[in-house]
Amino acid sequence: MAKEKDYLHLENAVLLVLKSIYDPEIPVNIYDLGLIYRVDIDDDNNVDIDMTLTSPNCPVADSLVMEVRDKVSFINGVKATNINLIFDPPWDKEMMSEEAKLELGFL
């Protein structure tokens, strides 16, 4: 039970950090923007994240991926962080949360 509680605490911490990172070109965090496809935390507290960008030619690709890796790595309890930048499926505005769509005027 304690292990499950620790896992949920770590998972919540990772999601909070992801929601604090913003695409510099769009005033919405990367999680609500739909750029995070998968977050996996193994039994050793290694975090594996699949993420994408709004465009394969995104000018801030390197710095955004580095920011995600660095901020997640600094979470207490995280042993290692791996970011997989993927483009399949390609990002689409339908991947945004309802809050993000509302913020950007899509609703």
Mean pLDDT by groups of 10 residues along the chain of 107 residues: 73 97 91 97 96 89 94 96 96 94 89
Is residue 23 within 8 A of residue 94, CB to CB? The reply is no
| pLDDT at res. 2 | 55
pLDDT at 1: 53
Q: What is the pLDDT of residue 23?
A: 86
* Cβ-proximal residues to 94 (8 Å cutoff; 6+ apart), any chain: 34
Q: For residue 12, what is the domain's CATH number?
A: 3.30.300.130
The per-residue pLDDT for 26 is 87
pLDDT for the residue 75: 97
Q: What is the pTM of this model?
A: 0.91
Residue 78 sits in which domain range?
A: 2-103
Structural domain tally of the chain? 1
Which has the closest alpha carbon to 68: 95, 30, 12? 30
pLDDT of residue 56: 86
